[in-house]
Structure 1
Amino acid sequence: MKPRLLITNWKLSARIEHVAEVIIAFDRLPEWWGTVFLDAQVIEKGDKDGVGRRARFLTRSRLPLTFLWEAEIIKVNSPCNCQIKASGDINGDVEWNLTQNGAIADVRIESDISLNRPILGRIAPLLWPTVVEGHRWAMEKGLAGLTGELDQVRARLN
């Protein structure tokens, strides 16, 4: 399956610094995005900005499928931008762009990905609408979980 671009936009009542801190803490993803991220194991810690941080994930889709894949942070322009390389059952590039607009953090996630599952085989391109719907579902779960996590961050800071 050729990589295809999926774009997600979120608006959060938060500082982009807090959003960035939460999203690059790979080991904590199952805590707040547990509907999708079933397990996360950090393989490499990376540098102080997170570059080189690698993790292995077990994620689930809306369909009865799980995906085993790795992510590596390849570039960080803290707190505004984070680029991630995915490999395994999910391959491609994911870029998080964060912009502060007053009290709102605008988050744009560009996922240029493909699925590498033998079970999907040649029918994978035909399933693309289902993949898009599954991605939308996963990102809705992520937004809800991140909103709750940021509420906890705000409570700790106040």
Structure 2
Amino acid sequence: MRANEYYMPTDWRIKEDIREVYEVCSNFKDYHRWWPEVYLDIQVAGTDKETGNEVYALLTRGKLPYKLRWQSCKTAENAPHSISLKASGDLVGHGTWKFEQDGEYVNVRFDWYVNMEKPLLKWLSPIMKPMFRSNHYWAMGKGFESLKRELERRRRAKAAI
């Protein structure tokens, strides 16, 4: 494994229906609204030539004082069980979200395989890899907290109808 290469799996378990969780996690355009600590800006940036899917330009951050500019698009989708995506820019690689209903709970797994390509961070990867991983897991922890808040907001909105 190269110094700037990362595999970072994340597991979440949440009491909810798989369709609700999938709906939130599959709508990339809305991440900056419900996951604002990490997704600072998301813009539609065209169409991917390989997949025909929308490409999103993202500006993201973690706990460490740097921001990443990258693009992402879905490469495969099997609603409500999985979504695969690819990344280019400061991060290059691919990831897959998997969703599994387990009784009243949904098990969510995100497998993220990326290379850090932002020049300074790529150069620092040999010595900073543990901190960069920690930064990713901080961001994913914020995502889990934000997902729970978003699902609760949706429940309240449905109840009000």
**Number of positions where the alignment pairs a residue of Structure 1 with one of Structure 2:** 155
Is residue 31 of structure 2 the alignment partner of residue 29 of structure 1? Answer: yes
Instruction: Deviation per CA, 1:11-49: give whole Å up to 9, x if none.
Output: 111111111111122221111110011001123478xxx
Question: Unpaired runs of 5+ in structure 1?
Answer: none
Q: Distance in 2 between matches of 1:33 and 1:95?
A: 18
Q: Distance in 2 between matches of 1:128 and 1:111?
A: 15
User: Which stretch shifts more, 124-133 or 136-145?
Assistant: 124-133
2:120 is matched with which residue?
Answer: 119
Q: Distance in 1 between matches of 2:81 and 2:116?
A: 27
2:8 is matched with which residue?
Answer: 6
CA drift at 1:2:
4.1
8 Å CA contact retained: 2:4, 2:125: no
8 Å CA contact retained: 1:42, 1:53: yes
Q: What TM-score, normalized to structure 2?
A: 0.89
Q: Distance in 1 between matches of 2:122 and 2:107?
A: 37
1:96 is matched with which residue?
Answer: 97
CA drift at 1:66:
0.3
CA drift at 1:3:
2.6
Residues 51 and 140 of structure 1: CA distance in aligned 2, closer, same or farther (over 3 Å)? farther
Question: Unpaired runs of 5+ in structure 2?
Answer: none
**Of 28, 42, 45, which aligns to 2:44?**
42
Residues 133 and 100 of structure 1: CA distance in aligned 2, closer, same or farther (over 3 Å)? same
Q: Distance in 2 between matches of 1:120 and 1:111?
A: 17
Runs of 4+ displaced beyond 3 Å: none
Q: What TM-score, normalized to structure 1?
A: 0.90
- The letter of the residue matching 2:118 is R
- The letter of the residue matching 2:129 is W
Q: Distance in 1 between matches of 2:122 and 2:116?
A: 10
Q: Distance in 1 between matches of 2:117 and 2:52?
A: 25
1:52 is matched with which residue?
Answer: 53
2:22 is matched with which residue?
Answer: 20
Residues 89 and 75 of structure 1: CA distance in aligned 2, closer, same or farther (over 3 Å)? same
Q: Distance in 2 between matches of 1:15 and 1:105?
A: 7
Residues 51 and 81 of structure 1: CA distance in aligned 2, closer, same or farther (over 3 Å)? farther
CA RMSD of aligned residues (A): 1.8
